[in-house]
Amino acid sequence: MNYPTTKQALITGASSGIGKATALAFAKAGINLALVSRGSENLEAVAAAAREVGVKAEAYPLDLSKIDQVQSSISAIAAQFGPVDILVNSAGMGYTSPLTETPLADWQRVLDLNLTSVWQCIQGILPSMRDRKSGIIINVSSIAGSQVFPNWGLYCVSKFGLMALSKAVATEERAGGIRVTAICPGSVNTPMWDTATVQADFDRTAMLTPEIVAESILHAVQLPDGAVIEEITLMSNAGVL
């Protein structure tokens, strides 16, 4: 199949939640997709659904927690797939525990995935964006990147750091035509709430949906090259954090 010239996106965490919803929203908008996640079976299902819409979509299983391999792996994916116009860093994990009871190994694990892997993905993509003097990076942060919640201390630290990373990259790369957007949703009804590292009792039916967040991400990437939304705070109208 011959694909028309169009934008190409690399999305991490694309097998579920916000990453999956963003991939499907992008596909409907005609954006080709390089999809990255640890789970290969679910990832290939998302790629297949995107191809049914009519775009090029490839699945690239990758464990982003293996920090020393992320930059080179992302660079290799981009070289194989073709120039990446849009990088969406959606992979991440939730974590709840009082800070004083948080083991050092957990601290490092959360920071590695939620912050350091994002930095490594950016480093893997930036050189080609600089060469073309164009590109947009979307970092999926959280309301926890600007507010601190009891027992979410480590998660908040990782998201505060992600906000600083987003602003630093934006400042350094703006002159080269590269745009950076941090999207900061409140609680989103994703599989994160079912993981062993999160213990919380919220009304998930009142949360934002991944599809709502994905539409905001799509809006940000569809702006003209001369404009950027640097930060989006998106909350449920039901008042759920």
Segment (H or E) for 118: helix 117-132
Q: How far apart, in whole angstroms, are the C-alpha atoms of residue 155 and residue 144?
A: 7
Segment (H or E) for 32: strand 32-37
Q: How far apart, in whole angstroms, are the C-alpha atoms of residue 238 and residue 221?
A: 27
Q: How far apart, in whole angstroms, are the C-alpha atoms of residue 34 and residue 204?
A: 30
Which tokens go with 171?
A: 């400042």
Q: At 134, is the secondary structure helix, strand, or coil? A: coil
Q: Is 95 annotated as catalytic? A: no
Backbone angles phi, psi at 20, to 5 degrees: -65, -45
| Beta-strand relationship, 86-89 and 57-61 | unpaired
The residues near 76 (Cβ < 8 Å, ≥ 6 apart) are none
The residues near 67 (Cβ < 8 Å, ≥ 6 apart) are 112, 116, 117, 120
Q: How far apart, in whole angstroms, are the C-alpha atoms of residue 236 and residue 226?
A: 30
CA angle in degrees (0–180, nearest 5) for 225-50-70: 70
Of 3, 60, 95, 155, the catalytic one is 155
Q: How far apart, in whole angstroms, are the C-alpha atoms of residue 5 and residue 9?
A: 13
Active site residues: 155
